[in-house]
């Protein structure tokens, strides 16, 4: 597995801060090019996700450690960004929500637990399950994907090694082979960055395709703080050619950028 291959750097403790940062930066710069090589795989996963969500399905992520946390982060950012219900994209982590902050030893080794965790969400054949595992060998993820696929769900994954067991368990695998890490085996680095990029692409492209963005604007975003209210007002000002006072009144009256635009257009 290339994610476990020895780092090309050695004696890290002897390097200066400048040298450490330069090395990290050099490797980080390889990530976007590596992700770009997997665009066709990402496209296939987006297309099936769009189709399932359009038909009333949901998107679930499962993972452990950094991979699991990245899934939780991406899922939690979809409602405020796109105005979708919280249950439309759900991140589930080996060891439960407590493992987001404190690692739960051995949780990722239980091949049966992911499917049990998914049952609490009444998962069904309309849904999509994406397993996230840098190594591609996490039993929690493999077991969840295998059982989900057998139950008729669309299954995908994001892994950072080629030819992995996780990829074999998924119908729509995304393999982003990031190579050795700066610190040998520390997949929170390049692999984590690559996974985050892929998840961003997956949900962003999906919700654009589903109509949650107009032009290039988040017209369905939740107006949950002063910054977002200000952004919403500026959207209306740009789109309608009005002053801020009128934009503020429209936003207050209709409750969302989309509703205000539809009312005026």
Q: Of the listed 43, 47, 77, 246, which one is catalytic? A: 77
Annotated catalytic residue, options 108, 146, 175, 181: 108
Are 144 and 165 spatial neighbours (Cβ–Cβ below 8 Å)? Answer: no
CB 132 within 8 Å of CB 140: no
Half-sphere exposure of residue 165, counting CA atoms within 13 Å on the CB side? 11
Q: Which residues are 172's β-sheet partners?
A: 156
Residue 108 is among the residues annotated as catalytic for this protein:
yes
How far is it, in rounded angstroms, from Cα 247 to Cα 234? 8
* Catalytic residue check, 47: no
DSSP three-state, residue 160: coil
Question: Cα 200–80–114 angle (5° rounding)?
Answer: 60
Question: Among 199, 197, 231, 196, which Cα is nearest to 216's?
Answer: 231
Catalytic residue numbers, as ranges = 77, 108
């Amino acid at each position: 597995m290339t994610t476990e291959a020895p780092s090309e750097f050695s004696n890290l403790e002897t390097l200066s801060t400048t040298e450490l940062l330069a090395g990290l930066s050099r490797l980080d710069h390889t990530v976007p090019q590596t992700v770009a090589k997997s665009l066709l795989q990402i496209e296939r996963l987006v297309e099936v996700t769009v189709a399932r969500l359009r038909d009333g399905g949901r998107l679930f992520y499962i993972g452990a450690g950094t991979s699991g946390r990245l899934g939780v982060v991406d899922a939690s950012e979809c409602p405020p960004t796109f105005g979708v219900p919280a249950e439309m994209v759900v991140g589930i982590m080996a060891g439960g929500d407590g493992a987001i902050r404190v690692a739960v030893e051995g949780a990722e080794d239980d091949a049966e637990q992911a499917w049990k965790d998914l049952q609490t969400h009444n998962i069904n054949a309309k849904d999509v399950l994406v397993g996230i595992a840098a190594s591609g060998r996490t039993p929690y993820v493999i077991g969840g994907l295998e059982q989900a696929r057998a139950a008729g769900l669309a299954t995908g994954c994001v892994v950072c090694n080629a030819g992995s067991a996780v990829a074999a368990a998924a119908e729509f695998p995304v393999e982003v082979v990031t190579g050795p890490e700066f610190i040998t085996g520390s997949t929170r680095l390049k692999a984590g960055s690559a996974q985050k990029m892929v998840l961003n692409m997956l949900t962003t492209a999906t919700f654009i395709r589903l109509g949650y963005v107009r032009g290039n604007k988040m017209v369905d975003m939740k107006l949950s703080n002063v910054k977002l209210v200000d952004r919403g007002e500026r959207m209306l000002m740009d789109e309608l050619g009005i002053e801020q006072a009128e934009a503020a009144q429209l936003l207050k009256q209709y409750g969302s950028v989309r509703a205000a635009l539809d009312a005026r257009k």
